[in-house]
Amino acid sequence: MQIICPVCKKKTTWEENPWRPFCSERCKLIDLGKWASEEYKIHVGDKEEREEKEKKIMDSRYSEI
């Protein structure tokens, strides 16, 4: 199966590829570096938003009892 490397956009194969989904160890390390330097982030919202979501989850759990 042909895939496209998410870093350099070069075509590569999935089978027999030790760095998949990347095309090379270089691209794999570039991606890891972006995570380590916090270029990629997962948005968790502000404190009030998180507390509101947690409250809704807890309320729904207790309403099932």
pLDDT at 63: 67
pTM score over 0.85: no
pLDDT at 33: 95
Which residue in this structure is represented by tokens 């999935």? Answer: 14
pLDDT at 24: 96
pLDDT in tens, 7-52: 999 999 999 999 999 999 999 999 999 999 988 887 776 777 778 8
Q: Is the peptide bond before 21 cis (omega within 30 degrees of 0)?
A: yes
pLDDT higher than threshold 60 for residue 65: no
Give the fold, CATH level 3, of 2-63.
Answer: Erythroid Transcription Factor GATA-1; Chain A (3.30.50)
